[in-house]
Copies of this chain bind each other. A is one copy, B any other.
Amino acid sequence: MTKIDFEKPINDLLLSIEKKYPPKLFSAIKYAVGSGGKRIRPTLCFLSADFCDVPRKNALSFALAIELIHSYSLIHDDLPCMDNDVLRRGKPTVHVAFGEATALLAGDALLNLAFETLFSAAKTNSDLLPACELIAECAGGQGMIGGQALEFENERFSEEDLFILDKKKTGMLIKCAILSPAYLSGSPEKTSALSSFADYAGLAFQLSDDLIDADKEEKTSFVTVCGKEKTKSMLLSLREKARLALSKWPGENEALYAFFDKLAFRNN
């Protein structure tokens, strides 16, 4: 797997806004975006671009935008009125470090910056627009935000409810990370195959998270609803389906297979 160079583009983006933003707002944004995230979504985006023979630089604005959207969603998710988390990746959350108002605005600014990045790229290459629209839809009220809202609108969840919730809340950003480069591929066959692969990957990522958090959280999750063993066997079944989706392209599918396993079996 080619090394994914994502830190340089994200740092370049931060540099480009530093002088234009109020200092504290910028510091909060830098703290959130630069603080050692795993860059799962950008990695998926680039691996999918490789699979589709799309140059990574053409998918860069997608990777950046999706990572910014992911960062903003964590800041807002951690706020006292949401999950009220005080630590993230071993460091104080943004509202603990910078205050609630700045955290709220830093999240807003990151979501906005994601779309500024996409418009700026689309302005010089309008072929990017269908994928930009996909990203916006996946991030919004029918996608990720819809999933976050569902979590607060209901008290009890069946297995089916959880599928819907996780498909939106976690799955949609994973989905657009994998699918956006395919929109540039000109290959309906690969696009359709990646769409299925992305669905399985998003769900597997959530199940794997639920297993990791099984012993430390009281939140409703697949593990609390279905039990550890069933969750593990669901993961194996998702792995099989994901491999089947891309099985037509031996050789080309290996990096995505390997990254799927890395995501899905983090706790083993």
Query: Any chain B CB within 8 A of the CB of A17?
Result: yes
Q: Given that A17-B142, A26-B141 are contacting pairs, would A136 and B149 also be in contact in the complex, using a CB cutoff of 8 Å? A: no
Query: Any chain B CB within 8 A of the CB of A145?
Result: yes
Query: Any chain B CB within 8 A of the CB of A152?
Result: yes
Size class of the A contact interface (CB-based, 8 Å) = 35 or more
Residue pair B133, A119 in contact (C-beta under 8 Å): yes
Residue pair A24, B120 in contact (C-beta under 8 Å): no
A189 to B153, CA, bound (A): 52
Residue pair B116, A122 in contact (C-beta under 8 Å): no
Query: Any chain B CB within 8 A of the CB of A109?
Result: yes
A81 to B141, CA, bound (A): 23
Q: Which residues of B sit under 8 angstroms from A148, Cβ to Cβ?
A: 105
Query: Any chain B CB within 8 A of the CB of A239?
Result: no
Of B21, B24, B101, B129, which is within 8 A of A142 by CB? B21
Residue pair A145, B109 in contact (C-beta under 8 Å): yes
11 further contact pairs, Cβ within 8 A, besides A25-B149, A112-B145: A22-B141, A22-B146, A25-B141, A25-B153, A76-B104, A80-B81, A82-B101, A108-B145, A109-B146, A113-B140, A115-B115
